[in-house]
Amino acid sequence: MPIWLARLLQVVGALIALAGLSGYWLSRDVPRSLLGEAERALINPRGELQVSFVVAGRDKLYLEAAGPPIYDARGRIIGREARARATAYGVETDTILYVTLVGNDLTIVAIPRDIYLPEYGRRINAVYIRGGADTLRQAVSGLLGLPVDYYAIINIDIFQRLIDAVGGVQVNVPYRMRHTDHAAGLIIDLQPGPQWLDGERASHFVRYRGAVGDDFRRVDNVKTLASAFLARVRELNVAVIGALPQLIDTYFDEVETNASPMLAAQLLPHLGSLRLQAFTLPARVQEGSAALSTDPREIEAFLAQVFGGQARVLTQAPDTTLLITNRSGVPGLAETLSTRLVQLGIPEARLLTRDASLDPTPSRVLAEAGQLPAAAYYAGLLHLGWQQVHRLEAPRGHEGLELVLGQDVAAWLGELVLASAEGGPGN
């Protein structure tokens, strides 16, 4: 059978199978978030169809263990055979990308792995270890102040398989890349300049670290490879459809995701028409630490520039002391939220915390009559309801404003986002 006919039959068969499964997979797909008015004005001012991902990469770990024992004639262990080596995947996500598709514009925002998140008590690259993929999705959502629909945790091998699926890519290697890891069996040897990379060499290109702390350059290499891959897809044009089944198989073999195969089938045919733009989230080194910190207002201005939208108005916190009362039954939650609010710009001196008995009612903001504007501010910031009370039963110094953390707190704290304070409650 001619090669072109075999490929055509493969494509037709795949399309028939996908059509038959479409109702099933669409019914299983994750409901996409509805953007609020301020969020649409920020990242989707034209009101086009949109989908967003957190894409994170896990590198290989090479584990060594002593081989089986060697016995003498009396049955005593006198040594061991050569060490055995096994391959596994790490639990830290060293590459984290916020990827959003608005119309035909594909935007990649690389998130430096050393950004420290006080509410999680760890750097963002270690969030996946404790909470898994969906917790990482929530962490990125909170960091950006934007909803994120899907997560995709990718093993490093997918770079190699995807690049090989399209026959390789043309990349301009920016500098000499040379690294040897005998334990891992890894030899990276790339000369600078334009060159053709197959899957294995492309994986070396994104795995290379020139020096400790050189992650910003590594992130740039990931963005470069993404651009080269899309350029290759555009070059292949119609012919790339023949690789569609292989690309879908590659994606779901190597990726931990909550997206359905039907979504992948819908997106892949449009790869050749996408316009790619890639950026790195602004972050700064914390004094006396290798960790990075972020400024919510700086992030907001950055997002407005990237998407050509209008930044949300992040007003100054009210000059009022907020009492955070933990009635959730989860120890330390009030302190965790207090730390997060400080990161968002609330002065630490304006925050008090305490633990109290369980409260089955929803988390909410309570305010005496003179504190209604402050209550509206915090309710909008935290996406909570609020109510006026005649008098708060609280310790001295509370000033008539209280945030009660009820037993429902897990439903919203993980996705704590910055909301626009413009317009008061309900935003």
Give the total number of structural domains in the chain.
2
Q: Is 272 found in the same domain as 191? A: yes
Task: Examine the domain organization and report whether 373 and 408 are in the same domain.
Answer: yes
pLDDT tens-digit profile of 135-147?
999 889 888 988 8
Based on the fold, state whether residues 261 and 327 are members of the same structural domain. Answer: no
Q: 231 is in which domain, residue-wise?
A: 3-60+89-307
422: in domain: no
Tell me, yes or no, whether 84 lies in a domain.
no
Provide the CATH number for the domain around residue 370: 3.30.70.2390
396 is a domain residue: yes
How many whole angstroms separate alpha carbon 56 and alpha carbon 405? Answer: 31
Residue-level pLDDT at 422: 33
| Any domain includes 151 | yes
Task: Tell me phi and psi for residue 240, to 5 degrees.
Answer: -70, -20
Higher pLDDT, 158 or 204: 204
418 within domain boundaries? no
pLDDT of residue 29 exceeding 60, the answer is no
Average pLDDT, the chain: 75
What burial class does residue 133 get, using C-beta atoms within 10 Å of its C-beta: 0-12 exposed, 13-18 middle, 19+ buried? buried
Specify if 133 maps to a domain.
yes
Question: Residue 407: is its pLDDT beyond 60?
Answer: yes
Question: At 256, is the pLDDT very low, low, confident or very high (cuts 50, 70, 90)?
Answer: confident
Are 124 and 162 in a shared domain? yes
Average pLDDT over residues 371-400: 80
In a domain, 313, yes or no: no
Average pLDDT over residues 307-333: 83
Could you tell me if residue 74 is inside a domain? no
Mean pLDDT lowest for which of 27-31, 91-95, 397-401?
Answer: 27-31
Rounded CA-CA distance 216/280 in Å is 8
Together in a domain, 148 and 243 = yes
- DSSP assignment of 108-150 equals EEEE-TTBEETTTTEEGGGHHHHH-HHHHHHHHHHHHTS---E
Most confidently modeled of 14-23, 234-243, 274-283, 415-424? 274-283
**One domain for residues 341 and 245:** no
Determine how many CB atoms are found less than 10 A away from the CB of residue 305: 11
Give the pTM.
0.62
Give the domain-ending residue among 241, 276, 307. Answer: 307
Confidence of residue 286 (pLDDT cuts 50, 70, 90): confident
Q: Are residues 267 and 381 in the same domain?
A: no
What is the CATH number for 186? 3.40.630.190
